[in-house]
Chain A
Amino acid sequence: MATIATAPRPPGPLAAGRANYLNVETTVRSWLGTTDHKRISILFLLGTTASLAIGGSFALAMRLELLTPEPLFMDSLTYNRLFTLHGVVMVWLFMIPAIPTVFGNFLLPLMIGARDVAFPRLNLASFYVYLAGAAVVFGGMLASGADTGWTFYPPYSTTTPTAVVPVLLGVFILGISSTMTGINFIVTTHTMRTVGMHWSRLPLFVWTVYATSIIIVLATPVLGITVLLVAADHALGLGMFDPAHGGDPILFQHLFWFYSHPAVYIMILPAMGVITESVATFARKNLFSYGAMVVATLGIAFIGFLTWGHHMFTAGMSTFDVAAFGALSMFVAIFSAIKVFNWVATLYGGAIAVSVPLLYVFGFLFLFSVGGMTGVAQASTSLDVHWHDTYFVVAHFHFIMVGGTMMAFLAALHYWFPKMFGRRYPERWAVAATMLVIGGFILTFSPQFWLGNAGMPRRYHTYPAEYQALHVISTAGSWAIAGGLVMTLVYLVVSLWRGRPAGANPWGSASFEWLTPSPPPRENYATPPRIDRGPYDYMPPPGAEDGAGHG
């Protein structure tokens, strides 16, 4: 990355050589030892993007294998390892860290007018712990790779001969990294806000990163101790979940989902923050009901802790418990719907500037709504019994969780690319890539709803011939996603050197991170800014006099 700042620049504002966080120091050492939240964000961008590429290639290999009903080029064990590692890498190395550690790190201090996060050294340590966790996971993968699925259910996970222990330890270490970032963001939001930055003036992205951090801090330790118990059982014979020694494997599922269901809100809440920022900027309009958005954000974070049982409807739960977990799960949909309606209402009557981030917002709205509605359907027990462990579930969570996070990650990458690097990306190439990614996503996962409803179970390497047509469509879609993502990578990297200079605020956004030059100087603000308005004040609401209106 050091070369970015030293490369020859096209004429423009940047040619004046204004000092910014990228060119203030250019040695490799200044990057690897940095405590600047913006540089740590770039380090995480490299790490999470590499993870996306690795997890994505596992998916491509799986989809290729599924072109034919009979085995094509791999055996069942290889297939099992691939879907396990695809899940582990995508969940813990990409989706959970990606938006908070990359964009949260870069933007949280800028948005609240701070010089840095509260604990900059802890922030850097979080990155190295992330690298260590990734190294242990990939080490386990090279050793022989776990074949348990990313959910590690015992008793299979405690008896399989594959290298499940390093993968579990890697997940534990990644949890420590998440927790460090979570603590940092909570404290930063509480203590580092500048003069006039009341809670009611926080950009929604800050609220969502804050809510996500609370979930991370409270849920991750439960997963941490649970995977340690499974690892100890596999390696040492602890037998905590082993029926032969008095244990109950279902208790593992409870503890696992106590984390892993809130984990989907860890992924989706910051995504919702990105969508909110983009919608307000590209509609050039006050956010429709700031207060409802905040309440919905915190509501999802809270209710999200009470829904884990819906993963276990078929595991022998009492009818009452099933009904309670089903109803609580549907409750989350109310908060999610409030958000969707607010985004649409913000767009309504706005001066909409269609650009790449907004296209990804549209992709998000479609995938999130369909994924959300199929989720409500699955919270009804009678339907869930039919769909449990089928492709229907796979399609549902790829729509809502992966689709949501990916669309938002790409929207954020394009929306804040000028902020982070001071340059524009080529609009036409970007629109083409966006179409490929969104179209490919719909093409890949829509057929899986039909496959699951017709009875195709998840995690199978072979299948009856009548499912083949839908599988072929799905595989074709995966190539479109890959093509779009590779295109995106290429034009963004080229734009680092060749992109047009962006200027401080290319989108004309009212949000606070654009108050500094782009890219920002090392210290963010020369003097701490004084905030006297809300983050989405594009036009004063009728009758408002204090200018602090937030829609």
Chain B
Amino acid sequence: MASAGQATRLEPHFQDLAKQTHAARLGMWVFIGSEALLFSALFALYAAYRVAYPGAFEDAAGHTNLALGTIMTAVLLTSSFLVAMSLGRIRRRLARDAVLFLAGAAVLGATFLVLKGMEYAEHFRDGIYPGVWYRASALPGQGANIFFTLYYAMTGLHALHVLGGVLLLAWLAWLVRRGRIDDAYHTPLELGGMYWHFVDVVWVFLWPLFYLLR
């Protein structure tokens, strides 16, 4: 059963499935490295501006919603955990469980986006907009302005990645349900999980920078 499945998934330019899987994993790692550099440019800007405006950054970080930020962290970490669980279930041929775990992970990802949106709305009410639109009377000054410009740029870019991840998880759940991913062949699930963990790790760095360092 397994061998027949493997044969159909082997692309003609690979000699065997082991090589093909190795290539797919390496490709994902290189892609994640590239993604890390995409965020690192923004982290570099954060570091430079934090050095330029140390006091204002502390005050501004004190203004973000620590409780909401911490809940979002927990939501994302749980979601990542569920994806890891789904992979284990697939390997043990428990496809039904895997679909449930993946769907749960996607729902948690969507929950994260809703919470993020609620937080943005809260900031907008205080006049905290990015860049030239910044109107916060409670936190005047250029340092707070640039802090929140960075906040929107970095959490916004991260939220786009979460959105992509939620769609990806939903698609993976559908693939498992249709039997296109099984114990013999689960590379897409593995790679999707790697991407989702990466998105999670980025948030693990954003959380202290915007919520904890106050």
> Which residues of chain A have a CB within 8 Å of any CB of chain B?
114-120, 179, 182-184, 186-188, 190-192, 217-222, 224-226, 229, 232-233, 236-240, 242, 244-248, 251, 254-255, 258, 528
Nearest-neighbour CB distance to chain B for A535, whole angstroms, equals 22
A248-B48, A255-B45 known; A237 vs B131 contact (CB < 8 Å): yes
Judging by beta carbons under 8 Å apart, are A240 and B41 in contact? no
The 4 A-B residue pairs with the shortest CB-CB distance in the complex, in nearest-first order: A246-B142, A239-B131, A246-B146, A221-B38
| Complex alpha-carbon distance, A248 and B49, angstroms | 9
Which residues of the other chain, B, contact A229 by a CB distance below 8 angstroms?
153
Knowing A114-B13, A251-B48 touch, does A186 contact B30 (C-beta < 8 A)? yes
* Nearest B-chain residue to A194, judged by Cβ: B15
With A221-B41, A229-B153 as given contacts, are A118 and B23 in contact (CB-CB < 8 Å)? yes
Residues of B within 8 Å of A244, CB to CB, are: 132
Cβ of A239 and Cβ of B26 under 8 Å apart? Answer: no
Name, among B19, B146, B150, the residue most crowded by chain A CB atoms within 10 Å (CB to CB): B146
Q: Select the residue from B34, B52, B141 with max chain A CB neighbours within 10 A.
A: B34
B1-39, CB < 8 A from A = 11-13, 15, 19, 22-23, 26-27, 30-31, 33-35, 37-39
**A–B complex contacts, Cβ < 8 Å, 5 sampled:** A186-B30, A191-B19, A221-B34, A238-B132, A247-B149
B37 & A219 in contact (Cβ 8 Å cutoff): yes
Which B residues touch A120, using CB under 8 A? 11, 13
Name 7 extra pairs, CB < 8 A, besides A118-B23, A218-B37: A187-B26, A191-B22, A224-B38, A239-B145, A245-B132, A245-B146, A246-B145
Residues of A within 8 A of B38 (CB): 221-222, 224-225
Write the nearest CB–CB distance from B127 to chain A, whole angstroms.
14
Total A-B residue contacts, Cβ distance less than 8 Å: 115
| Contact for A217 among B33, B53, B134, CB less than 8 A | B33
A residues within 8 A CB of B30? 182-183, 186-187, 217
CB-CB contacts below 8 Å: B146-185 with A: 146, 149-150, 153, 157
Contact A222 B48, beta carbon cutoff 8 Å? no
Q: Chain A residues near B145 (CB, 8 Å)? A: 239, 245-246
Q: A119-B27, A191-B23 are in contact. Are A222 and B149 (CB under 8 A)?
A: no
B 28-69 to A, binary, CB cutoff 8 A, 1 in contact else 0: 001101110111111011001100110000000000000000
Do B23 and A221 touch (CB < 8 A)? Answer: no
Closest-by-CB residue of B relative to A118 is B23
Q: How far apart are the CA atoms of A504 and B31 in the complex, in Å?
A: 37
Within the complex, what minimum Cβ distance (angstroms) separates B110 from chain A?
25
Q: Does B143 interact with chain A (Cβ within 8 Å)?
A: yes
Taking CB atoms, residues of chain B closer than 8 Å to A238 are: 130-132, 149, 153
Query: Chain A: which residue is nearest B45 at the CB level?
Result: A251
Contact B149 A183 (CB under 8 A): no
Indicate if the CB atoms of A190 and B26 lie closer than 8 Å. yes
Task: List the interface of chain B (C-beta within 8 A of A).
Answer: 11-13, 15, 19, 22-23, 26-27, 30-31, 33-35, 37-42, 44-45, 48-49, 52-53, 130-134, 141-143, 145-146, 149-150, 153, 157
Is there an interface contact between B149 and A240, defined as CB atoms closer than 8 Å?
Answer: yes
Q: In whole angstroms, what is the CA distance A233 to B132 when docked? A: 9
B8 to chain A, nearest CB (A): 17
A-chain residues with CB within 8 Å of residue B41 when the two chains form the complex: 221-222, 225-226, 255, 258
Cβ–Cβ contact A245 & B31, under 8 A: no
The reply to whether A116 and B13 contact each other, CB–CB distance below 8 Å, is yes
Q: Which residues from B are CB-within-8-Å of A258?
A: 41
Known: A191-B19, A245-B145. A222 touches B27 (CB 8 A): no
A238 to B154, CA, bound (A): 12
Neighbouring A residues of B52 by C-beta, 8 Å: 248
The distance in angstroms between the C-alpha atoms of A118 and B12, with both chains bound, is 11
Specify the chain A residue showing the minimal Cβ separation from B132: A237
* CB neighbours of B39 from chain A (8 A): 225
User: Shortest beta-carbon distance, A235 to chain B, in Å?
Assistant: 11
Q: Which listed residue, B23, B132, B157, touches A187 by the CB 8 Å rule? A: B23
Q: Are B49 and A246 in contact (CB under 8 A)?
A: yes
Across the interface, name the chain A residue whose C-beta is closest to B19.
Answer: A191
Chain B residue with the shortest CB-CB distance to A220? B34
B49 to chain A, nearest CB (A): 7
- Are A218 and B33 CB-contacts (below 8 A) given A187-B23, A237-B131, A239-B131? yes
Q: How far is the CA of A254 from the CA of B41 in the complex (A)?
A: 10
Taking CB atoms, residues of chain B closer than 8 Å to A217 are: 30, 33-34, 37
| Closest-CB distance, A326 to chain B (whole angstroms) | 22
**Complex contacts, B23 vs chain A, CB 8 Å:** 118-119, 187-188, 190-192
Q: Which residues of B are found within 8 Å of A117, using beta-carbon distances?
A: 13
B13 close to A245 (CB less than 8 A):
no
A240 adjacent to B131 (CB under 8 Å): yes
